[in-house]
Amino acid sequence: MSNKGFTLWFTGLSGSGKSTLAEYLTPILKERGCKVEVLDGDEVRENLSKGLGFSKEDRDTNIRRIGYVANLLSRNGCAAVTAAISPYAAVRNEIRDLTTAAFIEVYVYAPLECVEERDTKGLYKKARSGEIKNFTGISDPYEGPEDPEVRVDTSKETIEESGQKILDYLSEKELI
Ligand SMILES: Nc1ncnc2c1ncn2[C@@H]1O[C@H](COP(=O)(O)OP(=O)(O)O)[C@@H](O)[C@H]1O
Ligand SMILES: [Mg+2]
């Protein structure tokens, strides 16, 4: 049974597959003996970050809170899986630096055309029409990581293939 904690930090555009991969990996990690907690952006915004908006400052605060909790969990032997857009590289790097357990940044990549076509929550349509302002990838920046530990391309891979890449990395680093 593994009890090494780590933070699995997903970053990517809305609809890129962060929540899907977090959900897909959770039972697999549990089977491998990990204690797992998922901090999903949408859910966090309903509780831990309730009241925060989408200005750069509020986005940074939201991400810092997620990073703070992920650090507490991972240093206590938990696999903390975060699934928030986390658009700004500087804050992601700040969290990487404060995290005492292993920090694995996973770039959940899919081209904008692909996520817009998926439009899983109908938000891109609203962003294009101007109904939603400051929408990441359309009217707000997204800074992809330059050197992530793992990069998946969900426009080309199945969920299983993307998930396996992440599991392979964790195995290679003897975290699972
Ligand atoms: N390789 C893949 N990994 C993750 N999701 C994928 C993949 N291929 C296709 N998808 C689909 O992409 C969508 C991603 O949505 P979601 O997980 O809600 O995105 P996010 O949480 O990043 O906003 C889902 O409909 C999922 O089935
Ligand atoms: Mg999501």
Q: What is the 42 CA–ligand 2 centroid distance (Å)?
A: 6
- The residue whose CB lies within 8 Å of the most ligand 1 atoms, and thus the one to mutate among 11, 14, 20, is 20
- Give the per-residue pLDDT at 67: 98
Strands ordered across the beta sheet of 6-11:
35-40, 78-83, 6-11, 102-109, 150-153
pLDDT value at 1 more than 70? no
Strand, helix or coil for residue 56: helix
Ligand 1 contact, 154 CB (< 6 A)? yes
Q: Could you say which DSSP state residue 54 is in?
A: S
Please state the domain extents for the chain: 6-110+142-172
d(CA 9, CA 150): 10
CA-CA-CA-CA torsion sign (12, 15, 19, 22): negative
pLDDT value at 71 more than 70? yes
In this prediction, residues 90-96 reach a mean pLDDT of: 98
- Give the per-residue pLDDT at 54: 92
pLDDT value at 3 more than 90? no
In this prediction, residues 61-79 reach a mean pLDDT of: 98
pLDDT tens track for 11-63 = 999 999 999 999 999 999 999 999 999 999 999 999 999 999 999 999 999 99
pLDDT tens track for 117-161 = 999 999 999 999 999 999 999 999 999 999 999 999 999 999 999
- Give the per-residue pLDDT at 74: 98
- Give the per-residue pLDDT at 4: 86
Q: Which residues have a Cβ under 8 Å from the Cβ of 145 and sit 6 or more positions away?
A: 11, 89, 92, 105, 107
- Identify the H or E element spanning 156: none
pTM over 0.95: yes
Q: Which candidate in 14, 16, 49, 86 is catalytic?
A: 86
d(CA 94, CA 155): 29
Residue 9, by phi and psi: left (phi above 0), alpha (psi -120 to 50) or beta?
Answer: beta
Domain 6-110+142-172 fold: Rossmann fold (3.40.50)
Q: Is 86 a catalytic residue?
A: yes
Strand, helix or coil for residue 82: strand
For ligand 2, a single-atom ion, the residues with CB < 5 A are 19
